[in-house]
Chain A
Amino acid sequence: MTAPAYHYPDTLDEACAVLADGEDTMVYGGGTAIQILIKQGVLFATDLVDVGRVPGLADITETPGGLRVGPLVTLRRMETDPLVRSVVPLAAQVYGQVANPRVRNTASVGGNVAHGDYRLDPPTALLVLDARLELTGTGGSRTVPAREFFVDFQRTALEHGELITAIDLPRQPESAGAWFAKLSSLSVNDWPCASAAALVVDASRQRREVRLGLGALAHIPLFARFEVAATASADEVVEQAQEATAPLIDPIPDIRGGAEFKRRLGLVAVEEAVRGSWKEHDDDRGSRWSWRRRR
């Protein structure tokens, strides 16, 4: 197996040209996934394009609608940056639960979603926050909603020669409730066996919209939403959420659990995410936390 050639373009145009030029080209971001595949001898890329020298790809910028995040921003920065924490706290929470600090310090926001793995944490947040991805190739840029980005098992909307140049994250409404539940089945720090992000936003006239993003529960990240009366009890919302997501859940059995177990865990993750994000009218959060798993 021939080792891939590394390229270090200085500009975005150059990067796009190299990506379009090669046969099996791949963007090299933080390298946390690519390096493992290279070591295992199973990566067949001919060219790896390290975009680290391209200016501006590691910036976080506040926009009128929220944040624009460069693809080379590290997961760790998403977890810790005060701007992210204030504008999209759910994203900060979710990015903070990926893998471990060593990985988060190196892995990049763009590489993470481009990997397209069905178990990733960040897509669950991107789905409920209605994030949009800017994809750039030699022919220019286009924008794809996160909800349309994950096309198939480890396959994304990225076309040959394209790279992610930004993720636009709409501001999380102040009034929104948000929660991320991540359940592993083996070591606590393992890949999730089921994960769920929930965002509850105000909808029209005494109603709220519940948005759910699920990870590891099908071959791609899943998204569901429904509206519910603002006066509904948490139990009622949980029931609706489970009804809405159950038909979507179609887990792939593996060493982390059989399909039936993962399905059960998925519904638990949905319940936890909903309970964490749903504010009842006479909200008294403290009393409801005893059910939560010990960490």
Chain B
Amino acid sequence: MTIEDRAGAGVAVGERWARVGGRARVRGELRYAADQPVPPCLDVAVHRSTRPHATIESVDTGAALAREGVVAVVTGADLHALLGERLMTGPAFSDQPCLAVDKVRYVGEPIAAVVAHGIDAARAAADEITVDYTDLLAVHNVDAAIDGVAFVHDELRPSAVFGDLKHLRGKRGTNVNYEFNLLRGEPDTEGVTTVRNEFWSPPTHHVPIELPYTAAWVDGDRIELMSTTQTPSYVRQSIADMLELPLNRVRVRSAPLGGSFGAKMYDRLEPLAAALAWTLRGAVRVVATREEAFLLTTRHGVAVTSSMSADENGSIVSATADVRYETGAYADVGPRITAKSGMVATGPYRTDNIRVRSRCIYTNKPSAGPFRGFGVPQVTWSHESLVDELARERGEDPAAFRRRNLLREGELSATGTPMHSADFLGCLDAVTAAVDWDSPLRRSEGRLLRGRGVAVGVKAVLTPTVSNAVLQLNQDGSATLLISTVDMGQGSDTIMAQIAAEVLCLGEGQVRVVAADTDVTPYDTITAGSRSTYHTGNAVRLAAERMRDRLVDLAATRFGVSATDLKLTGDGLVSAQTQETVSIAELVLGHFGARGTTLTAEANFTTSWVPYDHDTGQSPKVTEHWFAGAAAVQLTVDTATGRVHIEHLAVAGDVGRAINPTLVEQQLSGAAIMGIGHALFDQLVFDEGQIVNGTLLDYQLPSIKDMPDRLTPIIVESPHRTGPFGAKGVGETTIIPLAPAIANAVRDATGVRITTLPLTAERVLTALTEASQA
């Protein structure tokens, strides 16, 4: 079947439909999770650890309990007595209790929860709790963790769900909870030009504007949650496991999120809220303050030691990378990130000889988890800096050097999986053309130096995963789409409707997406990793196609013609033979003989993979598809202050097919802007395990004044053979190459290569000073 064959008859896909809920978001009218009606709830405040690593000798809750308004004070030990080891949750390792048991592993870890009438009473009481600690040696960075100065966990506790982690169960005396290895050819082969370096990307925080929130209450023998989560299906399973309940007695609802970027997925506030509601048989509400949100999850800080070598023809002959992911006190999804990113740690280049070692490492810091890009931006920081330097060592244009070495359609990636619908060349050419790459540059202007840089990025989509869609076609011709994808600003409520509408020839506003509710909407692995457009989109397309077939059958019966004679159009179903036409409304009314009736169709879309080899990381199908993106930048560096100013930033992503070009452009731009922050100043600063800039007074995000003078998002469409109308996701694509593109431009402008992110004014100025003194 070709792409054209599967194109819908409608006029929805490729249209710039207005974002669903956009107006309500801007006007403050959208009802977020915390605005949704729930039963009257008690409020929860937690007492937090003031030590990075210590055993808990005792917890004194007496003073807290004595305070007015306090209903209960619950410690980790209390919950452990009730729930046992089921208290320990996590997507890859069952290592995290919602309240610390026996020992604390980071500053700010919850130890005891106060349940009270009103948040003020709860917080005041939480301050009254005292904990007696015995300090343990703390592990503050990956190198100390590898050296084993102390162990964050006495033994590894891989989750029962994953077979490939089974061999790690019970392993003691290590902080390395997972290691991914990739081996191809003879990685020690060297060409005539070799570059090597050490790279560091610091931990960062997501800073979604909407703060995390979970309400949980018991309703008869069931528990219900309303929560800010990207992963309602996961949360249902996690809570069911923790409370030993069948899935039909756990209901998890979400609402449109006010941003997330990976911050609101897997186990965040939900285990605590559910454990408290269930054990107290009541209704509780947990709201994170801004300062608490910084402690919930972070992006991994990553150290990479890497090399790349080219032969005399300028072909890359070998590449190596030793990658250390700092996952903090709890593994969360770190082991998955370690593998997924390890696969692409040497970049999307034709290279026969590769060695990658990628490790996920515990330290005494808040847990690191998923973040837009899933660990890939941190390894891209390494390979795109290296490849740039390799080109410069050879005296070659960095764009031309990449162009020669980039993987083409059908060629094998480092993992042995072929490339498809990953147009690196198209992206590279688009961004370099946009910034007028080959035009002469005024390199010096007063105290400013000017330069250009480029970088590409590759990422594999999470595989295998499962998506489902249920489509209800209402008798009046409108449709209701039931999926568990969560709209968090990426626009899924808009584009999923467009996909269904395309198949069914419906118009803007005729398909409504129901907010995720595990009682109603079917299982979906996660809303994350740019997977929804392709996976859930395919489930939606399949459900809509089944609905279309159903309508065709009904019309064939009505007209007494064969199904092949019928076509669904914007006017309804048309018989080619009789030229008879019937609208959907008339057809369904005629079929049921009643108004307001519904037709239902459902579909599943599941991807499969061939697990990578344990020793070599090789697999003929390690992923369902690839993401390809590029960024090019022209900037100035102020030699007096070290400040970088971006004059033009062009970003491109191969999205297969843009379901809604406006939303795609917004995702390309949004990810790029987030990437500017990571490149220039966005980082979590730690001192002895304490986050020192964990408030919005000190944490740095790009402001309107940090925007480039010009930002050009470019859609590249290289249709995927099994994407819905050829489409793939886009949410992460342009954050991946952003930081190295900027650093490469700084290198171009100043001659200085900086390998530690972010490129703050101080770091740039110091590097310039050192270079001028050398």
Chain A residues within CB distance 8 Å of chain B: 1, 3, 36, 39-41, 100, 183, 185-190, 193, 255, 257-258, 261, 264-265, 268, 271, 290-295
Contacts and interface: CB of A to CB of B under 8 A. Distances in A.
A39 B293 CA distance: 14
A240 B681 CA distance: 33
A290 B444 CA distance: 11
Contacts of A271: 640
Interface in B740-767: 760-762, 765-766
A164 B326 CA distance: 50
Interface stretch (B222-230, B553-561, B693-701): B693-701
Contact of B766 (A186, A188, A261, A265): A261
A265 B700 CA distance: 19
Nearest to A294: B645
Contact of A257 (B685, B698, B762): B762
Given A40-B291, A187-B681, A255-B693, A268 B706 contact: no
B446 interface: yes
A93 to B, nearest CB: 16
B111 interface: no
Count class of interface residues, chain B: 35 or more
B636 A189 contact: no
B120 interface: yes
B579 interface: no
B709 to A, nearest CB: 8
A39 B292 CA distance: 12
A294 B636 contact: yes
A186 B765 contact: no
A292 B445 CA distance: 10
A293 B706 contact: no
B127 interface: yes
Given A39-B289, A255-B692, A189 B766 contact: no
Interface string B625-650: 00000000000101011110101000
B291 A187 contact: no
Contacts of B287: none
B704 interface: yes
B703 interface: yes
Contacts of A265: 641, 761
B706 A188 contact: yes
A264 B641 CA distance: 8
B540 to A, nearest CB: 39
B702 interface: yes
B124 interface: yes
Given A257-B762, A264-B765, A189 B706 contact: yes
Contacts of B677: 187
Majority-rule SS of A interface residues: loop
B638 A1 contact: no
A25 B625 CA distance: 63
Given A193-B761, A265-B761, A293-B643, 5 more contacts: A185-B761, A186-B760, A187-B705, A257-B762, A258-B762
B730 interface: no
Contacts of A188: 703, 705-706
Contacts of A293: 638, 641, 643, 645
Contact of A189 (B123, B448, B705): B705
Contact of A295 (B695, B701, B703, B705): B705
Given A40-B695, A255-B685, A255-B693, A187 B445 contact: no
B167 interface: no
B27 interface: no
Given A187-B681, A189-B705, A255-B698, A291 B447 contact: yes
A254 to B, nearest CB: 9
Interface string B672-695: 000001001100010000001101
A1 B289 CA distance: 17
B95 to A, nearest CB: 30
Contacts of A294: 448, 636, 645, 647, 709
A1 B702 CA distance: 34
Contact of A187 (B447, B448, B695, B703): B703
Contacts of A258: 762
A113 B732 CA distance: 44
Interface in B191-234: none
Contacts of B448: 294
Contacts of A291: 446-447
21 contacts: A1-B124, A36-B697, A39-B290, A100-B703, A183-B641, A186-B680, A187-B700, A187-B702, A187-B703, A189-B703, A255-B685, A255-B692, A257-B760, A265-B641, A265-B761, A268-B640, A268-B641, A290-B446, A291-B447, A293-B643, A294-B448
B700 A186 contact: yes
The 3 nearest A-B residue pairs measured at CB = A189-B703, A188-B705, A186-B681
A188 B702 CA distance: 8
A87 B354 CA distance: 69
Contacts of A36: 695, 697
B291 A185 contact: no
B701 A187 contact: yes
B291 A189 contact: no
B445 A261 contact: no
Contacts of B446: 290-292
A234 B701 CA distance: 36
A100 B762 CA distance: 24
A71 B522 CA distance: 59
Contacts of A295: 705
